[in-house]
Chain A
Amino acid sequence: GNSVTQMEGPVTLSEEAFLTINCTYTATGYPSLFWYVQYPGEGLQLLLKATKADDKGSNKGFEATYRKETTSFHLEKGSVQVSDSAVYFCALSRSNKLIFGTGTLLAVQP
């Protein structure tokens, strides 16, 4: 079946550190891939997406590349800020369903 696996948290970083949150997927065919972010007390909002192999999604300094050969969509940012503290969800869309990973809590300290 279709599933998403992302690294467990929490991830604690100092401001300006490099961020990687790993995400791998299992899916039939070629799903669209997403990263959503949830700030405290809010709903989810789209951070970035990629719809086909080798596409790179980017937004607010975050990037992720759709790697079909490794079935991965790792999230990266070169220099995190305190305001990036949130829960990050990797997700895939297939057959009218959006399937989420369990989420990774990121805490950035000043």
Chain B
Amino acid sequence: NAGVTQTPKFQVLKTGQSMTLQCAQDMNHEYMSWYRQDPGMGLRLIHYSVGAGITDQGEVPNGYNVSRSTTEDFPLRLLSAAPSQTSVYFCASSYLAEETQYFGPGTRLLVL
């Protein structure tokens, strides 16, 4: 049981490049979410999904896209990276939003 996995662990991008952060879980959780962690800001919700085919925006969705074609996977896409997107990104999952969320190890992204 791997829990929540994220790839890559670390990525450097140039401004304007695109990339996809991968997130997968093997716990059959319906709810999945993406957060970014910045110094002094805590974690802020980017997008979330309550089940396959259903996604919604969180607190800071601009510049990010998501889709949920399977229960297991919830990728986060940066269409045109900006330096303001330099951050640590965490994916999380749970049975329901109100229940305990299980976090992945994070992806550290640097946009130059």
Q: Which A residues fall within an 8 A CB radius of B?
A: 32, 34, 36, 42-46, 49, 51, 89, 93, 95-103
Contacts and interface: CB of A to CB of B under 8 A. Distances in A.
A88 B90 CA distance: 16
B100 A46 contact: yes
Contacts of B66: none
Nearest to B104: A43
21 contacts: A32-B98, A32-B99, A36-B103, A42-B106, A43-B105, A44-B90, A44-B103, A45-B103, A49-B100, A89-B43, A93-B98, A96-B97, A97-B58, A97-B59, A98-B45, A99-B45, A99-B59, A100-B35, A100-B43, A101-B42, A102-B42
Contact of A46 (B41, B56, B101, B104): B101
A51 B100 CA distance: 11
A103 B35 CA distance: 14
- Sort chain B's interface into a size bin: 20 to 34
B106 A103 contact: no
Nearest to A96: B97
Nearest to B38: A102
Contacts of B74: none
B40 interface: yes
